[in-house]
Structure 1
């Protein structure tokens, strides 16, 4: 039983990057797929593929992006199950002078900080890339 699937996902991606793997697989959910879609749109990963095992267990394979070094310099989990962090759109800080991204969970779904500022929507800050 995984208590924090988002932290587990980010940890597996981070470990794969440190070992310079081209791909990494883990269990998936709708929230994880939404996070991966934002990472793909922002250019942090090449792509991902969803699959199901014969036992009907969903998992996803993520293809990591490298240009010499990894496109992802670091991932930091902000909100945790025991300590949620919420932020208004105007209070969101810029990550790495605009080179990074914050991913938020809002009432409009999972969005990045740029979209959050554009729509003026705050929410729970999930993690920074």
Structure 2
């Protein structure tokens, strides 16, 4: 076999491997995108569920006592304690950008959420 033929075969093999690699990378990208879409949908569903239960529980804080603490650099800790239920309390920790960690603690459950600077609620954990 001449060196020209060997060189051509190497080029063909290289092209074939490149095409296979492109297909593999494309499949990986699609898989990652579908996982991301699925996670986003799960977060959205969880967020709406937690929003509904949060709305119900916040009504028991209508008569509550709210205290704000400025922790410096516009980081604020808010504590809202229910007068009617001594076991019910809400903690909000907010940074200067508007991102927030929200914890609701009741006698029989707790809910932990994060809220980004656009106000989008992201479900983290609920019930224990």
TM-score (norm 1): 0.23
Rg (Cα) greater in structure: 2
Q: Give 1 or 2: higher strand fraction.
A: 1
